[in-house]
């Protein structure tokens, strides 16, 4: 017996069991509305209860750091605490305690839970392109060059490989900086009037 019934969106009548092939047209027995059903298999599975952890049997057995009466089943990858089945949070086959998981999310140190990254190569490219408008100000390409040097070892984009782009942008920024500096040295020395 399925754990949940699929209902008609119009009259809320329970529809018969899932047809053999997903996506086939089905008609509601109550209001005769024609429907095309696409459901996930989990909809028809019986919900499972979460693990509560098993009690420690012997006195020398490893127990959970937070629940001394529960048997330890894993250790935290970050802090090394013993964790029971209740406290163990698994992320891509790595085990974490709830505190380390929260700390990793806050710090951004857990790459598995990372939502996004700064694209330093795009910021640098924007600064370099902006410095073309103000070519006589060597501080803009210098800012891009310093940013590139500081962020070279930072994690690159999740989508694109950007070290090549950063290298090209840093080279362009260096040329712009040297050109702007040479211009102002020539002006200061009286060579350009």
pLDDT per residue over 110-139, tens digit each? Answer: 777 777 778 888 889 999 999 888 877 888
pTM (2 d.p.): 0.45
Give me the residue label for tokens 């939502």.
115
Q: What per-residue confidence (pLDDT) applies to 44?
A: 57
Tokens of 106: 């806050």
91-100 long-range contacts, CB within 8 A, separation 24+:
97/65, 97/66, 100/76
- Rounded average pLDDT over 18-46: 69
Per-residue pLDDT reduced to its tens digit, 138-174: 888 999 999 999 988 887 776 777 788 889 999 999 9
Per-residue pLDDT reduced to its tens digit, 34-69: 887 766 555 555 544 445 556 656 666 778 888 888
Question: What CA–CA distances, in Å, run from 167 to 33, 83, 99, 134, 173?
Answer: 61, 45, 39, 22, 10
pLDDT exceeds cutoff 70 at 4: no
- Rounded average pLDDT over 79-105: 86
Residue 180 burial (C-beta neighbours within 10 Å; 0-12, 13-18, 19+): buried
């Amino acid at each position: 017996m399925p754990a949940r019934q699929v209902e008609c969106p119009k009259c809320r009548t329970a529809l018969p069991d899932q047809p053999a092939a997903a996506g086939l047209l089905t008609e509601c027995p109550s209001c005769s509305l024609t429907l095309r059903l696409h459901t996930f298999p989990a909809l028809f599975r019986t919900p499972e209860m979460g693990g509560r952890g098993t009690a420690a049997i012997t006195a020398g057995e490893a127990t959970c750091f937070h629940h001394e009466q529960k048997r330890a089943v894993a250790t935290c990858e970050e802090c090394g605490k013993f964790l029971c089945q209740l406290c163990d949070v698994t992320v891509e086959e790595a085990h974490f305690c709830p505190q380390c998981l929260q700390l990793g999310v806050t710090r951004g140190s857990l790459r598995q839970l990372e939502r996004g990254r700064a694209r330093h190569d795009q910021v640098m490219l924007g600064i370099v392109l902006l410095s073309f408008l103000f070519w006589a100000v060597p501080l803009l390409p210098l800012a891009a060059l310093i940013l590139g040097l500081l962020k070279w070892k930072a994690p690159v984009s999740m989508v694109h490989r950007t070290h090549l782009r950063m290298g090209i942008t840093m080279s362009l920024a260096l040329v712009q900086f040297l050109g702007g500096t040479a211009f102002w040295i020539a002006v200061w020395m009286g060579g350009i009037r």
